[in-house]
A and B are shown apart, each in its own frame.
Chain A
């Protein structure tokens, strides 16, 4: 991964509810010379619905994006943990001859090779030296929350330790902030259940946020739009249901990087969040 040009697959959320993730990621990458070349005509990766419907479809949808990156002869990077998981799984399965043949038939195009798939955190971690962080985030205590999809299944995502990953903690520490040691880094946030089983999401998100609060975290840093939505959106409901004064801003790690690189909170679209981070940023002198 010594190169600095990547095929970029934003996925649907980064063009929608997680626009701030997309915007901050692009600005942060641009500032250190990492080129993100968005795939043309990209489509859904199938996350959360395709694999519950049909296995072949679940592998074929990401295969289309893999093929597009391969045609550019670039490694494929994505910032969304769900897309990452689906792309990695598809790439993994396509290493088997009979699966590759089947998917080639579906796509009506022969797949010969699949590109390397990485998550944006891995790119940032490797190129951390190329960032010039202007503002040290001194005194900011961050709970790095990875969720499940980046790390599991470990032998397929090839990401980091699946119980105690360190990659985001390292990035946060480089910016002068303190990544706290906590026990919920890869716990379940409730994933795609907010519509079908909201109680589960609220209970699980509460467990995560209450330990972050208990151990003194000022904010949570995430790398997944679904985690962000679950943790950010439900705090009001958590407060009323558990009578627990939880009010903890949830950032995408790219937003924290952007702030440290000197971008304004507005550039980083922090006003898009349900739980406003502005009071915290003011308190820490980051506005």
Chain B
């Protein structure tokens, strides 16, 4: 027999100001199953909670209804209150008469009172059907997986490892380092990017708690917080890294030269390669698409006609430790993790759609990242800035900002955040390379929000003499060896034409290739641009809706280096917090399948966004659904989808919700 106690809160005048509390207490006293009703000025205060405890004991209450604020505010407070009086904490119901009543109906006390009484009536009806529930505990693997070896991933891996936990860092490229490794210098301090990044890369390689898996990808993720099972595909490198010493003979002697991804088309690499000199690991992989011997093997295998390609195998012949292994195949490694940090980063926007700038047609129209490689002392030109068309030194350089940013026409409405700053950096560095260079920047707005950023822009303007023109470029055309840049200076309201030797497009950021497949595998949501979504943009910036999966860096949206580092550390702190627990407590408000009613249609499997329902064989051999409590979020989708009504949500069972509705009649 339910013995319900109702506690009505004034919340100072927040509730009492627009709801008649005395009338509510009278009404509550007359409700079925209610054996006690009272009111309190501040129920959440210590005396308020004490009076609830006392009332539970004095009146032998076995259900408690508190009419006050939103459960988001104080449900946990009151759960503790009823528990301390010996009740199961799930025998508490809250009627939200503040946010959902007094605050929004402050102009009509009579109606607000009637509504508040109804809300209490519903809560009482539900409470009579409440069952005690007990949270579950599961164990956890204290080992973290970091996906992506850019600066955010490097930072996250180092911080988790330094907190004493094992970390596996997976990177799909042959080296860690990400885009930061491509940069020459970093704004606003102009310190050398490699000088600050490579020590961290070496730390990763040498840390006893970190296992580095480069040239590897995530194939499959199963499981839940504390207990993820991940399949990692180690791509075939065709080089046995346990033998290789990284001497470099092979990649120096390989005769096949192709466009280097790392140098974004302005440099070349061999078919057996490390992406850059400071790569970690400094051991090569063979690009099977371009290797001459592999092409030869394919040719022989397929019995094609025509000229047989050369057998080559120069790397194999020259390798002093016989590390070349043509038989090596992709390997699948299955490993267990307790937490996953996704740091898949970005790729530079492909400006091909900007045909008005002659992208892909005019060789001296390049992107910011290409200029970065040209300026880099370890780049393909050893730091000499030259025009791709004729190798001459440009003297007049036009920069166009917001290429692939803030441009709805091109499907990119967002600001990429870093371009204003890196463009200013480029103009300063160009001036340092060659004092005769005059740079022009076409901009929409200059966005320099960060410590010392605005000062840096001033430095570009005042010290490097960069001319900033507010307006967009409409067209670039060739005139002899020059490029004519037609644009608008919207501050003087006139079209302008600038004769340039080189045009640099400040291309924005896009999510990495393949991030959507990864997001689907992890059940993460993404925005319309395919950037991954954090659990809350302000208050939970590195968490996701999937417990145990965290995000860091520019996979969430455009970010600069300091932000990526901060986010990497933030995600690591969350992982360390998670790993500080010995057991994980799982909320019992989950869906439950009645195996006798389940017909095995598995509609629940299809609707569940969290992969909680699984197919299972019942003892009598029937197929039925089973819901994994650790994955279930209690959203109730499966309950609605279940045709035979076999699924019920604990704490929000069908009969409880029905009782709430019925109580209003």
Contacts and interface: CB of A to CB of B under 8 A. Distances in A.
Contact of A187 (B358, B475, B478, B479): B475
B356 A163 contact: yes
Contacts of A161: 355
Contacts of B361: 164, 181, 183
Given A164-B361, A181-B361, A214 B480 contact: yes
B477 interface: yes
B477 A183 contact: yes
Given A161-B355, A163-B356, A164-B355, A183 B476 contact: yes
A157 to B, nearest CB: 15
Nearest to A215: B478
Interface in B479-496: 479-480
A211 B355 contact: no
Nearest to A210: B479
Interface string B342-384: 0000000000001110100110000000000000000000000
B479 A211 contact: yes
25 contacts: A161-B355, A163-B354, A163-B355, A163-B356, A164-B355, A164-B361, A181-B361, A182-B478, A183-B358, A183-B361, A183-B362, A183-B475, A183-B476, A183-B477, A183-B478, A184-B477, A187-B475, A187-B477, A211-B477, A211-B478, A211-B479, A214-B478, A214-B479, A214-B480, A215-B478
A163 B474 CA distance: 10
A184 B356 CA distance: 10
Main secondary structure on chain B at its contact with chain A?
Answer: mixed
Interface in B320-361: 354-356, 358, 361
Contacts of B354: 163
Interface residues of A, number: 11
Interface in B59-106: none
Nearest to B362: A183
Contacts of B356: 163
A182 B361 CA distance: 9
The 9 closest A-B CB pairs, nearest first, are A163-B355, A183-B477, A164-B355, A163-B356, A181-B361, A183-B478, A161-B355, A183-B358, A211-B477
A129 B132 CA distance: 78
A33 B362 CA distance: 40
Nearest to B352: A164
B189 to A, nearest CB: 39
Contacts, number: 25
A187 B477 CA distance: 10
Nearest to B480: A214
A181 B478 CA distance: 11
A164 B478 CA distance: 15
A214 B481 CA distance: 11
B488 to A, nearest CB: 15
Interface of B: 354-356, 358, 361-362, 475-480
Interface of A: 161, 163-164, 181-184, 187, 211, 214-215
Contacts of B475: 183, 187
A187 B476 CA distance: 11
A233 B361 CA distance: 30
Nearest to A183: B477
A270 to B, nearest CB: 29
Nearest to B483: A183
User: Which residue among A163, A184, A214 has the maximum number of chain B CB atoms within 10 Å of its CB?
Assistant: A163
Contacts of A163: 354-356
Contacts of B362: 183
Contacts of A184: 477
A164 B361 CA distance: 10
Contacts of B358: 183
A30 B302 CA distance: 48
Contacts of B355: 161, 163-164
Given A183-B358, A183-B361, 16 more contacts: A161-B355, A163-B354, A163-B355, A163-B356, A164-B355, A164-B361, A181-B361, A183-B478, A184-B477, A187-B475, A187-B477, A211-B477, A211-B479, A214-B478, A214-B480, A215-B478
User: Which residue among A181, A183, A184 has the maximum number of chain B CB atoms within 10 Å of its CB?
Assistant: A183
Contacts of B477: 183-184, 187, 211
A164 B351 CA distance: 14
Nearest to A207: B477
A213 to B, nearest CB: 12
A122 to B, nearest CB: 19
A211 B483 CA distance: 12
Nearest to A154: B409
A42 B528 CA distance: 47
A211 B475 CA distance: 14
Contacts of A183: 358, 361-362, 475-478
User: Which residue among A164, A181, A187 has the maximum number of chain B CB atoms within 10 Å of its CB?
Assistant: A164
A139 B86 CA distance: 97
A45 B640 CA distance: 58
Contacts of A181: 361
A221 to B, nearest CB: 19
A146 to B, nearest CB: 12
A183 B478 CA distance: 7
A182 B478 CA distance: 8
User: Which residue among B354, B355, B476 has the maximum number of chain A CB atoms within 10 Å of its CB?
Assistant: B355
B656 to A, nearest CB: 49
Contacts of B479: 211, 214
A184 B362 CA distance: 13
Nearest to B357: A163
A274 to B, nearest CB: 25
A187 B475 CA distance: 9
A210 to B, nearest CB: 8
A117 to B, nearest CB: 24
A161 B361 CA distance: 14
B241 to A, nearest CB: 45
A163 B475 CA distance: 9
A161 B356 CA distance: 10
A183 B477 CA distance: 5
B135 to A, nearest CB: 56
Nearest to B361: A181
A164 B476 CA distance: 12
Contacts of A182: 478
A183 B480 CA distance: 12
A163 B355 CA distance: 5
B665 to A, nearest CB: 45
A183 B362 CA distance: 9
Contacts of A211: 477-479
A184 B361 CA distance: 13
Contacts of A187: 475, 477
B351 to A, nearest CB: 12
User: Which residue among B354, B358, B480 has the maximum number of chain A CB atoms within 10 Å of its CB?
Assistant: B358
A160 B30 CA distance: 75
A179 to B, nearest CB: 13
A214 B480 CA distance: 8
A183 B475 CA distance: 9
A67 B476 CA distance: 42
A131 to B, nearest CB: 28
A214 B476 CA distance: 16
Contacts of A214: 478-480
